[in-house]
Structure 1
Amino acid sequence: MVNLYDYVTRFLDSYTEGASKNSTNAIRTGTIINNIHDYAQDYLVSVGVPDSYIVRDRKCEGFFKPKEQDILVTKSIHRICKNPEISINVRSQMSSIQKNFDTLFERLVAESVNLHEKYEDLPCGYLYLIPTVGLDSNALKQGKIITKERFNLEKYINCFLKLAARKSSTDDKYKYEAMGLIIVDVKEDGSFSIVDDLEYIFSIGRVSWDFFLEYRDNFNDLNPFNTMNTLLNVYDSRRGIRNIVR
């Protein structure tokens, strides 16, 4: 069984180790986030998608320009993929979260539009990992986990919901068929939980009561435990799952 918790555990262990060693290179080069890439790939394999159909870090032809995708399901053998079946991208931000919001959101919209303008029925998925409270980067360098940055989590949730749940190939091209927001509640002893319940986020004071009431019904659209299954169900409805599953 492919368990998201196992991969997030490895991600957090690698992240704190890299930070404590002052290894900015490990954090920035993708070595650590590869743990979440592994989750997506292993999930695909577990349901019968052949390894030979799964490629990582390959450019895919888009409407505006070829753009590297973290994970592609494709039968294409070309250096630049021209026949994608599924696209999945993965990102994380554990500190300095608020100041990077504009860049993040612009990139999210640009990536989905670039693909959907070219391939209207392409199932696109996104996994994004953030903490409930941003971590103190200086403390991490000393091997300590201290939660510090109370960034605007409502803004993140609201914007991710606007990009989630693209229901059909005629739906807005800036949306993603499956969007998983992996919100981790990290404790100072290193333990963590993956939050898929907006009521819990309200209970720890990270969203307001009014926000909870407005978004509690839609919050499940961001449930990271459902993301991969949702993506495959969309693919099945549009192209037929037997096209990629043996």
Structure 2
Amino acid sequence: MASVERFDLWRQRATLTELADQGGQFLNTAEGLAFIEQLTEFFAPGLKGAARGWGYDLERDEVVNMIVEQLLATRQDGEAGPARYAATAENPWAYLWACAVRWGQEQWGTRGVPIEAAEMIPMPIEDDESPHTPIQEVVDLTFALVAQVTPEKHHVAIRELLMWTAVNPPQRLSYETDERRAAHRMCPTLTLEQVIAVMKIARGSRPRAASTSLMGQFLLDPDFRVSSSASHARALTHFKNEFRAGETGSRMLSDWITHG
């Protein structure tokens, strides 16, 4: 399927919206079959590599079937399913990839995605002339720092949350609680307070977001050292304390309603 062309942003959104609206019926249409081709070409190879790292040798069809089954799973609590959330994400394919990795971990393993599989993440095409650090590198650099001050048992969840944060730029302040709730779906083992702590160290804290955001700094300078910035060093220490204090908090998505 080397000739399969990746859907542009508009088509990604349209396809996922149709899937959310029509469910399995959509997959019987021409566009539904084209969506299956997208999963086979752009998602299955990376997840196959991840599965091998977890000790499973899978075929592409098995990986695609897993993703489809999860997308069609009955919605719970009257909430929108992952297809609709992906359709509204800044980068739908990257959001869907993050979901697929979590589903794969639940079915086939608990470790992080191997380095070779990470290269298959369907991120936006980077401009060779761009002055900014590639998104995947920004995530890796940020994770390398926060991993030093957080328990190892949370590292998989933190990395997934950082990836979600990287491909979903902040929305208006009035949407902040909904946004954090959507992010929490990527890392349900974290508490509400821990999700907030990770997103704050990644994006920065108001009103000094620019001087406290690790991702923002790494986006501008991949060689940035936190020891060279007092504001970032203080933010990292504050993050460490907030994350630790949040360990006993709620992990219930429904609690975001009152937490916001």
**TM-score of Structure 1 vs Structure 2, range by shorter chain:** under 0.3
Greater share of helix residues, 1 or 2?
2
TM-score (norm 1): 0.27
Greater share of strand residues, 1 or 2?
1
TM-score (norm 2): 0.26
